């Protein structure tokens, strides 16, 4: 009887650890990217919009617009994804630059549904690029308004 109780306890522990380990972890873009960066040091964001009409580039240097874009991005809730799963009609490539380090982060937003991030000068190159699925009703109006 004791053996059966120990076996049941062991099975429950293994199942519990498996659920914990394999459950999708969600977090915000702020936790994934912006916490690794002093957002007050961002001096410009180069935004490249790509859609059916072609490619358009804007350079945002106004600190209020930069903060609006970064605040908008920080509201996105994410879970890890694969870059090959992405279907989109509109994308925004954003390069965050600081005065002292130049390019520090790149992010590509695909139709408010996916975002890829890239850390320039990452200590481990294989960890520099990540893909995420956006899991909430993220509003990219601040980014779209750059092109109005």
Could you tell me where the DSSP H helices lie in 23-140? Answer: 29-32, 63-74
The pLDDT of residue 112:
84
What does pTM read for this prediction?
0.76
Q: How many domains does the chain contain in total?
A: 1
Do the Cβ atoms of 65 and 80 come closer than 8 Å?
Answer: no
The answer to whether residue 97 sits within a structural domain is yes
How far is the C-alpha of 61 from the C-alpha of 12, rounded, in Å? 55
The pLDDT of residue 17:
66
The answer to whether residue 110 sits within a structural domain is yes
Structural domain of residue 36, as residue ranges? Answer: 25-147
Q: The domain that contains 82 carries what CATH number?
A: 3.30.1490
pLDDT digits (tens, 9 = 90+) for 16-69: 666 666 655 777 777 777 777 788 889 999 999 998 888 999 999 999 999 999
CA 129 to chain centre: 10
The answer to whether residue 89 sits within a structural domain is yes
How far is the C-alpha of 117 from the C-alpha of 63, rounded, in Å? 22
Query: Is 122's pLDDT higher than 70?
Result: yes
- Give Cα separations from 10 to 20, 24, 44 (angstroms): 15, 24, 54
- Among 19-33, 34-48, 91-105, 123-137, whose mean pLDDT is lowest? 19-33
The pLDDT of residue 36:
77
How far is the C-alpha of 103 from the C-alpha of 96, rounded, in Å? 6
The answer to whether residue 7 sits within a structural domain is no
Query: Is 13's pLDDT higher than 70?
Result: yes
Q: Of 15, 74, 47, whose CA–CA distance to 148 is shortest?
A: 47
The answer to whether residue 18 sits within a structural domain is no
How far is the C-alpha of 95 from the C-alpha of 102, rounded, in Å? 10
């Amino acid at each position: 009887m004791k053996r059966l109780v120990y076996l049941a306890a062991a099975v429950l522990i293994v199942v519990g650890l498996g659920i914990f380990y394999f459950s999708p972890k969600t977090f915000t873009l702020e936790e994934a990217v912006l916490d690794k960066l002093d957002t007050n040091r961002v001096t410009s964001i180069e935004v490249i919009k790509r859609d059916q009409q072609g490619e358009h580039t804007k350079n945002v240097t106004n600190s209020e617009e930069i903060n609006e874009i970064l605040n908008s991005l920080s509201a996105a809730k994410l879970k890890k994804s694969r870059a090959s799963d992405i279907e989109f009609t509109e994308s925004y490539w954003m390069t965050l630059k600081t005065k002292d380090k130049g390019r520090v982060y790149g992010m590509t937003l695909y139709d408010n549904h996916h975002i890829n991030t890239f850390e320039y000068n990452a200590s481990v190159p294989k960890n520099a690029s990540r893909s995420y699925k956006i899991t909430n009703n993220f509003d990219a109006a601040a980014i779209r308004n750059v092109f109005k």
